[in-house]
């Protein structure tokens, strides 16, 4: 037996291949891993929000006048059906992008909240912020108090099943500034979040983002790494992802 081994010492809960230049340390106060990559930093807290708060968030995001907060299995909605539902807290919408001359719906529902005037554009989509509500402010304030970062907007994504996904991209829009800090919190089903280097796509890191987890991306990461949320056919339920940002 190794007398110097501490069985209570945490270890990274996901593998990173030796071909990737990285280091990490455990932050006891935040209960999070601080990971330094070549050209970027990550902060990962696997259980940032407890089970009670995380489950309430799932209910809060999809609560509406017809079924209330107890419904956790809303079917896929077309544009007409979506507009008929009066969601209590989050005003979900179906955005579209132009691809090959066609107007294609994003494979997820979205919503944009933030300070007045904090407009955001990506993939030809222009978003104007809805005002903060009590639930989103609570999540934002909790993240800010823990990490020391400040945010003025949030993009919400509702992945309704494993078929909903996000393609490879970097959050490098001009509105986000030179080296944006983006805090991602996750509620509901576990989904893989995959990072890959732009100059060597074989270098990948897969991070399972679980119910209540927090992942912060910082430094030069958006200039050298892309990320995606790939399809997962075995996932049946919903996952809600909130990415808090600062619009310059």
In the predicted model, what is the mean pLDDT of residues 240-248? Answer: 97
Q: What is the pLDDT of residue 6?
A: 52
Q: Which residues pair with 211 in a beta bridge?
A: none
Q: What is the pLDDT of residue 67?
A: 57
Residue 3: pLDDT band by 50, 70, 90 thresholds?
Answer: very low
Q: Which of 243, 124, 122 is nearest to 180 (CA)?
A: 243
Residue-wise pLDDT for 190-235, tens only, equals 999 999 999 999 999 999 999 999 999 999 999 999 999 999 999 9
Q: What is the pLDDT of residue 126?
A: 87
Give the count of beta carbons closer than 10 Å to the beta carbon of residue 178.
10
Angle ∠(142,186,119) on CA atoms, nearest 5 = 75
Q: Which of 181, 209, 185 is nearest to 195 (CA)?
A: 209
Which is it for strands 239-245 and 120-122: parallel, antiparallel or unpaired? unpaired
Residue in the structure block whose two tokens are 């893989």: 192
CA–CA gap between residue 212 and residue 182 (Å, rounded): 16
Q: Among the listed ranges 52-61, 79-88, 140-149, which one has the minimum average pLDDT value?
A: 79-88
Is residue 78 pLDDT above 80, yes or no?
no
Name the superfamily (CATH) of residues 30-69+80-91+98-245.
Alpha-ketoglutarate-dependent dioxygenase AlkB-like (2.60.120.590)
Alpha-carbon dihedral 96, 60, 244, 110, rounded to 10 degrees: 0
* Token reading at 104: 């294609």
In this predicted model, which residue has the larger pLDDT, 3 or 110? 110
Residue in the structure block whose two tokens are 């222009």: 126
Q: What is the pLDDT of residue 1?
A: 38
Residue-wise pLDDT for 109-118, tens only, equals 999 999 999 9
Which is it for strands 213-218 and 182-188: parallel, antiparallel or unpaired? antiparallel
Average pLDDT, whole number, for the chain?
Answer: 91
Residue 7: pLDDT band by 50, 70, 90 thresholds?
Answer: low
In the predicted model, what is the mean pLDDT of residues 66-82? Answer: 60
Q: Are 177 and 220 in contact (CB under 8 A)?
A: no
Residue in the structure block whose two tokens are 């823990």: 146
Tell me the percentage of the chain whose pLDDT exceeds 70: 92
Alpha-carbon dihedral 241, 244, 245, 246, rounded to 10 degrees: 160
Q: What is the pLDDT of residue 80?
A: 75
Residue 5: pLDDT band by 50, 70, 90 thresholds?
Answer: very low
Residue 72: pLDDT band by 50, 70, 90 thresholds?
Answer: very low
Residue 77: pLDDT band by 50, 70, 90 thresholds?
Answer: low
- DSSP assignments along 69-103, one per residue: GG---PPP--HHHHHH--BSS---B--EEEETTEE
Is residue 68 pLDDT above 60, yes or no?
no
- Cβ neighbors of 86 (< 8 A, separation 6 or more) are 64, 65
Residue 104: pLDDT band by 50, 70, 90 thresholds?
Answer: confident
């Amino acid at each position: 037996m190794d007398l110097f081994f501490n069985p209570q010492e945490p270890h990274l809960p996901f593998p990173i291949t030796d071909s990737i230049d990285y280091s990490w340390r455990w932050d006891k106060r935040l209960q999070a891993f601080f990971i330094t990559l070549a050209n970027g930093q990550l902060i990962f807290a696997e259980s940032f929000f407890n089970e009670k708060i995380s489950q309430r968030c799932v209910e809060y995001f999809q609560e509406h006048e017809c079924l209330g907060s107890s419904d956790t299995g809303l079917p896929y909605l077309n544009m007409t059906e979506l507009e008929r539902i009066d969601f209590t807290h989050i005003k979900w919408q179906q955005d579209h992008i132009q691809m090959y001359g066609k107007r294609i719906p994003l494979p997820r529902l979205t919503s944009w909240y933030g300070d007045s005037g904090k407009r955001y554009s990506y993939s030809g989509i222009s978003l104007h912020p809805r005002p903060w509500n009590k639930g989103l402010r609570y999540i934002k304030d909790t993240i800010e108090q823990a990490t020391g970062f400040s945010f003025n907007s949030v993009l919400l994504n509702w992945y309704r099943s494993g078929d909903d996904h996000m393609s490879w991209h970097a959050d490098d829009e001009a509105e986000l500034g030179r080296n944006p800090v983006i805090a991602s919190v996750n509620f509901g089903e576990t989904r893989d979040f995959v990072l890959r280097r732009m100059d060597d796509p074989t270098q990948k890191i897969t991070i399972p983002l679980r119910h209540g987890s927090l992942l912060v991306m910082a430094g030069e990461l958006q200039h050298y790494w892309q990320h995606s949320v790939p399809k997962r056919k075995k996932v049946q339920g919903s996952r809600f992802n909130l990415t808090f940002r600062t619009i310059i």
